[in-house]
Amino acid sequence: MNKVFLVGSMSPDMDMRYTMSGKAVCSFSLTVAFKTKVREETDAIDCVAWDMLAEQIGQEGEGGRRVAIEERLHTRQLESADGQRKKVTEVVVRDIEFLDRQGLARPG
């Protein structure tokens, strides 16, 4: 089973775009806090959404909004301009719930 549930804050650097075939795609980072034995830390997790969900996130999402998302992990390989292969792991969003009202986003 490949299922991930995350709660965190959306980054302000959301990228809403359309593929050449007209498919909507929205990429963003989700800042998620977690506690270790010593202190609280955060991770920025790369997320991507497609189609109608991407359009919803593009319209309603903004930096700092708290969201809960259900997703799956996806790893793909990219090749840089100099020919180096690089693995990228991101989460493909299947469902999103905005936990605050738009315009009232809280940082962190």
CATH number at residue 48: 2.40.50.140
Per the domain annotation, does 103 fall within a domain? no
pTM for the full predicted model:
0.81
pLDDT score of 102: 61
Rounded Cα gap, residues 26 and 72, in angstroms: 15
Where residue 64 falls (left for φ over 0; alpha for ψ -120 to 50; beta otherwise) is left
Q: What is the mean pLDDT of residues 55-67?
A: 89
When pLDDT is cut at 50, 70 and 90, the band that residue 83 belongs to is confident
The domain total for the chain is 1
With a pLDDT cut of 70, the percent of the chain lying above it is: 94
- Whether 103 shows a pLDDT value over 60: the answer reads no
| pLDDT score recorded for residue 9 | 94
Q: Is residue 108 part of a domain?
A: no
Is 92 inside a domain boundary? yes
In a domain? residue 34? yes
In a domain, 87, yes or no: yes
Position 69 in a domain: yes
Which residues 6+ apart lie within 8 Å of 63 measured at CB? 9, 10, 11, 12, 13, 14, 105
**For residue 46, is it within any domain?**
yes
For residue 10, what are the domain limits?
4-98
- List C-alpha distances in Å: 95 to 21, 35, 82, 84: 23, 25, 36, 34
Q: What would the mean pLDDT of 60-65 be, rounded to a whole number?
A: 85
Over range 66-84, report the average pLDDT: 89
Q: 45-67 in b/e burial notation, b at 16+ Cβ within 10 A? A: bebbbeeebbbebbeebbebbbb
